[in-house]
Structure 1
Amino acid sequence: MDAISSVSGRAIPFGAKNVDTDIIIPAKWLKTITREGLGEGAFETIRAAPGNVFDDPANAGAPILIAGDNFGCGSSREHAAWAMLDLGIRAVIAPSYSDIFSGNAVKNGILPIVLPQEAVDRLMEVARGGDEITIDLDTQTVTTPFQDRYTFDIDPFRKHCLINGLDEVALTLERQDAIGNYESRRAGAQGWLATGTNI
């Protein structure tokens, strides 16, 4: 996955609460065998309404989504994170998330930021005004051109993975030498396991 240390740009002022993964990506899109193109189905039911924030030309390419409480609730489909990433979203700011969605987001290179409702409300105002928001993962801050500055907490391991672009495969490959050494020792001591020979 792509590393992420900062995100800056327009934010989509969505703000809806209890948005489940079926709203993020409807079930009919789960038949695909690739992650590419899922952005087309992202928030499909909301985008069917004229004048929605996702299809507003002013928000085209916006890398930040501002959402409401309990974002990503519902089923555990990882496609929700894939669809948002394909839509160009690299960070979400909300008061709370479903635990499974939050984990899936990080594993796919999306930064889920938790801020108090008052801060989210203020960032919604900034986003509606068309001004950029800047997120710095290293300093764990969200800032605006109007001197707003909010700090957020993040698990150190999740931060490490995002800054270094490490998904689960990459994390395993970091231990490639140790895994190879173990396999060599095991083959020497228990070679019959590798060959499948019965004793």
Structure 2
Amino acid sequence: MIIEGEILFVDRANVDTDQIIPARYLTGITKSGYGRHLFTGMPGGPELLASKPAATILVARENFGCGSSREHAAWALADHGFRAVIAESFARIFLENAYTNGVVPIVLSAADVQVLGACERLRIDVADQFVETQGRRIPFDLDPLRKAFVMDGGFMEYLAKKVETVHAWERSRR
């Protein structure tokens, strides 16, 4: 799985879920429709987002996604078109929500985040686990199970594939 595209650098730490998607917009239980409210809770967020409307990779500082447990934060990022978030660290619950919803969370050092934040475009090879820019490859770690989730598009998509595998096996045994 290759993710390639423009980046949006959110050059701040502790971007919480209320900044990502304010609670007043959490009115549904489907995954669509939240992208238009992305970063409306962050000072300067809408303007920052408007400066890179085609960005598909978000780069941020430490503790991205802290605050309330809000799966809508991952939904809003995905709905807007972000396929990966690179940060120095993530809040644990956001990390799980990203994996579950097919948004690839990548942890890199502060120095690497600084370098990537200055780039216009990145290429991420999820299968081989590296970020590439200007001929430089930066490796990253992904837990094998969670890697499978994002490679399949999220947990439910992963599960659907597994269920079909079980059904195929059962049919072959009849």
TM-score bin, normalised by smaller chain: 0.7 to 0.9
| Corresponding residue number in structure 1 for 2:50 | 55
Give the counterpart of 1:22 among 18, 22, 26.
18
CA 1:177–1:120: 2 relative to 1, 3 Å: closer
Alpha-carbon shift at residue 177 of structure 1 (Å)? 7.1
Alpha-carbon shift at residue 51 of structure 1 (Å)? 8.1
Residues 1:39 and 2:28 aligned together: no
Checking the alignment, whether the CA contact within 8 Å between 2:56 and 2:83 is kept in structure 1 is yes
RMSD after superposition: 2.3
Percent identity among equivalent residues? Answer: 40
- Figure out how many residues of one structure are paired with residues of the other and give that number: 170
Checking the alignment, whether the CA contact within 8 Å between 2:61 and 2:88 is kept in structure 1 is yes
Partner amino acid, structure 2, of 1:135: I
Partner amino acid, structure 2, of 1:158: R
Higher Cα Rg, which structure: 1
What is the CA deviation profile of residues 51-88 of structure 1, one whole-angstrom value per residue up to 9, with x for unaligned ones?
Answer: 832111xx112110001100001111100000111111
What pairs up with 1:1-199 in 2 under 5 angstroms? 5-46=1-42, 49=44, 52-56=47-51, 59-126=52-119, 131-145=120-134, 147-168=135-156, 170-171=158-159, 174-175=162-163
Partner amino acid, structure 2, of 1:141: F
Of Structure 1 and Structure 2, the greater strand share is in: 2
Alpha-carbon shift at residue 139 of structure 1 (Å)? 1.2
Question: 1:66 & 1:177 partners in 2: Cα distance?
Answer: 36
Alpha-carbon shift at residue 38 of structure 1 (Å)? 0.5
Question: 2:45 & 2:116 partners in 1: Cα distance?
Answer: 24
Normalised to the residue count of structure 2, the TM-score between the two structures is: 0.88
Normalised to the residue count of structure 1, the TM-score between the two structures is: 0.77
Alpha-carbon shift at residue 112 of structure 1 (Å)? 0.2
Structure 2: tracts of 5 or more residues without a match: none
What is the CA deviation profile of residues 13-59 of structure 1, one whole-angstrom value per residue up to 9, with x for unaligned ones?
Answer: 1121011111110000112243222111110033x649832111xx1
